[in-house]
Amino acid sequence: MRSLLFVPADDEKKLAKSLSAGADALIVDLEDSVALAAKPRARQIAAEFLAAAAKSAEQPLLIVRVNPLAGDLTDLDLDAVMPARPDCVMLPKSLGGASVQQLSVKIAAREARNDLPDGATQIIALATESGEAIFGLSSYRKCSRRLAGLTWGGEDLSADLGAQANRLGDGAWAGPYALARNLTLFAAAAAEVAAIDTVFVNFRDAEGLRAEALAARRDGFTAKMAIHPTQVPIINEVFTPTDEDLAKAEAVIAAFAARPSAGVVAIDGEMVDLPHLKRAQRVLARATGASVSQSERGRG
């Protein structure tokens, strides 16, 4: 899974368009992009869309972003969408592993009620939306078998901090948000789940998006969220291993296969040892798997 496109759940036109955007996953949003008064209608549209999308020719992963556990809307959201069998639920304003466990219990009850296998629905947590959430980042490891990915956000976090801005003049993330981003990467590695980079809100700036996606891939993120269909092809391209990446990875694997007892080998004048082999195996896994189930982290 490389690209995840957000679509406001109360916007039937965008929902219809989203299926052909080429995104690996769609995030049907019941939270921040839907006004409070529009939520009941959005829930109903989301359920109808999920049911129809499951039968369409395009088969993106279907994710629903529910409202945060701290309010009283999460149960209503799940009641409406779980009969339509989303692949995954995105949890905003997550505070740590305990939040994921709490959502997991709610999901499990609805899986039972809707005759779905226990554990069929995965969870992606938005893990940095408040100062408090930052301190929960170490608690995701082994919190739930449903947890498939962690992602982060700079908008709600800046509101919680009372910041004037979250980006510097040149577009780079200001210190607190760069820290949140980097800690998400560590938290995802610790939890052995996919690390998903946040949205790039300036959807007319293709070059800015590309640069941010390239930096994310360089550092270990395997996917990025999108808010506009034009962002999807750029994200897909950046997070798809190139032929050169694949050739390099295959060369590393071949070098170790040729000398099974070696701990270290040389390729084109460069030292290659176990971490390089692990990285090469991940590149190949990424090239073959498009599922949310973090196959590149080895949990399957």
Which residues make up the interface to ligand COA (CB under 6 A)?
5-8, 13-14, 17-18, 29, 32-33, 199, 227-229
Q: Cβ 9 to ligand COA, closest distance in Å?
A: 9
Task: Compute the least distance from the CB of residue 10 to ligand COA, in Å.
Answer: 10
Give me the sign of the Cα torsion angle 257, 262, 266, 271.
positive
Residues pairing with 29 in the sheet: 8, 65
Which partner in Mg ion, ligand COA, none is near 156 (CB below 5 to 8 A by kind)? Answer: Mg ion
First-to-last alpha carbon distance for the chain, in angstroms, is 13
Residue 90 touches which member of Mg ion, ligand COA, none, C-beta under 5-8 Å by kind: none
* Residue 23 binds which of Mg ion, ligand COA, none (CB < 5-8 A, kind-dependent): none
Distance between CA atoms of residues 210 and 235, nearest Å: 7
Distances (CA, A) of 80 to 30, 46, 66, 139, 200: 11, 8, 10, 29, 29
- CA neighbours closer than 13 Å in the CB half-sphere of residue 193: 29
Residue 185 beta carbon to ligand COA: minimum distance, rounded to whole angstroms: 20
For the bound state, the minimum distance from the C-beta of residue 26 to ligand COA, rounded and expressed in Å, comes to 8
| Cβ distance to Mg ion smaller for residue 93 or 297 | 93
Cβ-in-10-Å burial (0-12, 13-18, 19+) of 181 comes to: buried
With b for 16 or more beta-carbon neighbours within 10 A and e for fewer, the 92-101 pattern comes to bbbbbbebbe
Token match 């409406």: residue?
Answer: 80
- DSSP state at residue 199: -
Is the separation of the CB atoms in 18 and 5 below 8 Å? Answer: yes
Q: Which does 145 bind (CB under 5 to 8 A by kind): ligand COA, Mg ion, none?
A: none
| Residue 29 binds Mg ion, judged by CB under 5 A | no
Our CB check for ligand COA shows the closer of 232 and 277 to be 232
CB of 56 to Mg ion, least distance (A): 28
Q: Which is nearer to ligand COA, 228 or 299 (CB)?
A: 228
Q: CA 54 to CA 56: how far, in whole Å?
A: 6
Site string for Mg ion, 140-159 (x = CB under 5 A): ----------------x---
Closer CB to ligand COA, residue 154 or residue 241?
A: 154
Q: How far is the CB of 17 from ligand COA (least distance, A)?
A: 4
Contact 11, 35 (CB under 8 A): no
- Rounded CA gap, 295 and 283, in Å? 11
96 binds, among ligand COA, Mg ion, none (CB under 5 to 8 A by kind): none
Compare residues 94 and 236 and give the one whose CB is closer to Mg ion.
94
Between 32 and 205, whose beta carbon lies closer to Mg ion?
32
Nearer to Mg ion, 38 or 108 (CB): 38
Name residues whose C-beta falls within 8 Å of residue 142's C-beta, 6 or more positions apart in sequence: 97, 191
Using rule CB under 5 A, residue 32 touches Mg ion: yes
Q: How far is the CB of 159 from ligand COA (least distance, A)?
A: 13
Choose the contact partner of 77 out of Mg ion, ligand COA, none; CB within 5 to 8 A by kind.
none
Residue with smaller CB distance to Mg ion, 87 or 156: 156
Binding site for Mg ion (CB under 5 A): 32, 156
